[in-house]
Each structure stands twice: as C-alpha cells, then as structure tokens.
C-alpha cells in the first residue's frame, strides 16, 4: 500500500477521527509560539496544513485576518466544517500540491503534529521551497518534526515498561516488533541526518515518518530561503538556543522560520 493510501486509511478510522475530535489542547511550544505571534495575528492570512479535527484551528482561526485549512482526509475536513461555522475555509488537499496558491499568498503557514514527516526526503525539500514561495516577505512557517536524537532511548526498556505491569507483555511484543521493523534505521541514526521510522502511530505499522537531525533541519530551511529559524522544545515549550539545539532529546521539536 502506498504511503498516501496508508495515511488515508489510518486517519479515516472511526477511533482515530474520534481521538482528534476530542483533542483540544495546544502543546507547550504551540502555546509559546501563539504568544509570540499574537500581536501580529490580526493582520495575518493563515494556511494550516493537516487540520485534523481542528485542535489548532480553534486557537488561531478567529484571531487572524483570513484562515484556510487543508487536510488529505475528507473525514477530517468534514469534521472541521461541522465544528466551525461561517465562510467555507476547509478543503481536501494533498500538502504536496500547493501549486494553485499564488506566491506570497499567506503570512503564516502552520503544520502541527509532525505531518511534514510523512513526506519523503525529496518531497520534504520541495515542500520547504513551496512554503517559502507561498509566504509573504517576512511571513512565518511554523511546524513540528520528529527529532532523530530521541531514537537512542526510544526503545529502551525503561521507556516501554512505564505502564501498568499487566500491560508489559503486550508492550514488550510491540517493542520487539518495532525493533525488527526499524533495525536498519536504528543502526545508522547516530550518524545520519535523517532516517525513516515506523513508529506504530494509531496502530499502523505501514505509516512511515522521517526523523531529522535538528542541525540538518535548520540547514534545509536556510537553503529553502528561510534566513531566521527558531527552535522550541516539546517538553518545556521554551525556545532553545545555540548548543541546546543539537543536544535536545525531545521526541519532536517545533520550528518557527521566516
């Protein structure tokens, strides 16, 4: 099954749709970035990619000058249309297809929950360039991305046996399966800038995600035309500086580029 069909199948399941319909809170770095952008939001035209159930939409849509949201999954788009009344703001669209948007069309492009990581390395580079194209001069690109530096401890027994003891047999079977699926990636992650991982999100063992080294991600953003890149910790929500960036072990990090 192709990655696109896998994503559609996974995010169209009743339990997954219900999960995102009930998920309403911002993550810590999202709260930080919202505070940073708040003074300018009322003048911004915003595009959100991968709207899901509208978790972030409810915090941004009414604060910006104009809001548009897209998602690959029709069920997620229908959910957002039902939740948020008013002008038609949501559409079914593949994030790899931003061609129909004019250059400098938006002032803020936002992608949360590591949606960008579903793209291949080549697609990822193209998307970064497209993001720069559709943003106005000085516009902001905000996204989260899995951190390759977390993989050293990802499958440690300590992490996998934090649940109730009666769950340990199932957790150990899942851990063994993930070790097998990701053996080659885990062998090379310490020296690689990017590896592709199957992490079992929503019970899918066919869905793949890129885990990227922070320094490589910053470099790719610079190459795509983003001169300023700020990095935020998932765990604390605060902005990371200098030596903190490559040393961060958070499962994912947030980037704010302009």
CATH number at residue 242: 3.40.50.150
Fill in the DSSP letter of residue 83.
H
Q: Do the Cβ atoms of 198 and 206 come closer than 8 Å?
A: yes
Number of domains into which the chain is organized:
2
pLDDT of residue 163: 83
187 and 219 within one domain: no
Structure tokens at 236: 């604390």
Position 57 scores a pLDDT of: 94
Residues 136 and 36 in one domain: yes
Contact 105, 45 (CB under 8 A): yes
CB 220 within 8 A of CB 104: no
> Are 130 and 154 part of one and the same domain?
no
Q: What is the pLDDT of residue 1?
A: 62
Q: Which residue bears the tokens 């029709």?
A: 74
CA 8 to chain centre: 16
Please tell me whether residues 38 and 107 are part of one structural domain: yes
pTM score > 0.85 for this model? Answer: yes
Q: What's the domain range around 247? A: 3-147+212-257
pLDDT along the chain (258 residues), means of 10: 87 91 93 97 97 94 96 95 85 94 98 94 94 97 98 92 89 94 96 96 92 97 97 98 94 98
Tell me whether strands 90-92 and 66-71 are parallel, antiparallel or unpaired: parallel
Question: Are 12 and 134 found together in one domain?
Answer: yes
């Amino acid at each position: 099954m192709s990655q696109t069909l896998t994503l559609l199948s996974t995010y169209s399941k009743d339990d997954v749709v219900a999960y995102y319909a009930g998920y309403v809170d911002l993550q810590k770095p999202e709260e930080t970035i919202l505070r940073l952008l708040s003074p300018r939001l009322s003048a911004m035209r915003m595009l959100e990619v991968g709207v899901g159930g509208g978790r972030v939409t409810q915090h941004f849509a009414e604060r910006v000058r104009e809001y548009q949201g897209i998602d690959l999954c029709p069920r997620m788009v229908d959910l957002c249309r039902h939740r948020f009344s008013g002008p038609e703001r949501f559409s079914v669209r593949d994030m790899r297809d931003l061609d129909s948007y004019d250059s400098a069309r938006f002032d803020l492009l936002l992608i949360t929950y590591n949606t960008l990581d579903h793209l291949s390395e080549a697609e990822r580079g193209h998307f970064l360039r497209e993001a720069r194209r559709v943003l106005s001069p000085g516009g902001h690109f905000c996204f989260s991305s899995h951190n390759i530096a977390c993989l050293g401890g990802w499958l440690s027994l300590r992490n996998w046996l934090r649940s109730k003891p009666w769950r340990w047999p199932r957790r150990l079977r899942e851990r063994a399966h993930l070790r097998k699926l990701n053996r080659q990636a885990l062998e090379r992650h310490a020296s690689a800038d990017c590896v592709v991982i199957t992490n079992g999100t929503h019970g899918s063992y066919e869905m793949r995600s890129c885990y990227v080294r922070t320094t490589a991600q910053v470099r790719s953003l610079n190459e795509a035309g983003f001169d300023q890149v700020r990095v935020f910790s998932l765990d604390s929500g605060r902005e990371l500086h200098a030596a903190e960036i490559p040393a961060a072990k958070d499962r994912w990090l947030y980037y704010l580029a302009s």
